[in-house]
């Protein structure tokens, strides 16, 4: 009987082990540092917010994006940082999503806060649609409480 070796078997096993060790959806928790690959970190936070099924996790991601917007330097002294994503748009969208989920769960106070944050972040002309959605949702909440 001939002893056969399979040189590709070791490579395949190594790739499988590497893939199993990697987390395909990194969980973003804690404070967000804008100094370390900010675009990808913010995008991962937004993606987690968009896919979250737990209300508190989704709310946490929305607040994390809100605070990320607040952390942007706005002193005019340093040159503006060019980003490939609009942080305000991510924050507004995530707050709209989280607000809607809170509203459906009957958490009206939380929903109101999240919609107000969405309204705050959707204050540029290119985000007029999100601003309208946030304002409409707030008006509906106010009407339902009367």
pLDDT at 124: 87
Q: Give the chain's residues under pLDDT 50.
A: 1, 3, 5-30, 33-34
Angle among Cα 144, 145, 146 to the nearest 5 degrees reads 95
pLDDT at 77: 54
What the block records as the tokens of 26 is: 């990194």
pLDDT at 123: 87
CA distance 23 to 59: 22
Q: By C-alpha distance, which of 104, 68, 11, 9 is closest to 137?
A: 104
Q: By C-alpha distance, which of 75, 71, 45, 70 is closest to 58?
A: 45
């Amino acid at each position: 009987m001939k002893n056969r070796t399979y040189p590709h078997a070791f490579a395949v096993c190594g790739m499988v082990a590497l893939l199993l060790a990697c987390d395909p959806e990194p969980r973003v928790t804690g404070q967000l540092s804008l100094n370390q690959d900010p675009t990808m970190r913010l995008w991962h936070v937004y993606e987690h917010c968009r896919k979250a099924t737990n209300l508190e996790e989704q709310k946490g991601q929305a607040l994390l994006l809100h605070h990320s917007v607040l952390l942007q330097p706005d002193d005019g002294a340093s040159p503006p940082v060019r980003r490939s994503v609009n942080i305000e748009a991510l924050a507004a969208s995530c707050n709209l999503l989280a607000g809607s989920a809170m509203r459906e769960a009957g958490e009206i106070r939380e929903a109101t806060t999240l919609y107000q944050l969405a309204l705050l972040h959707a204050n540029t002309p290119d985000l007029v649609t999100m601003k309208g959605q946030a304002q409409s949702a707030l008006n509906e909440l106010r009407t339902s409480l009367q």
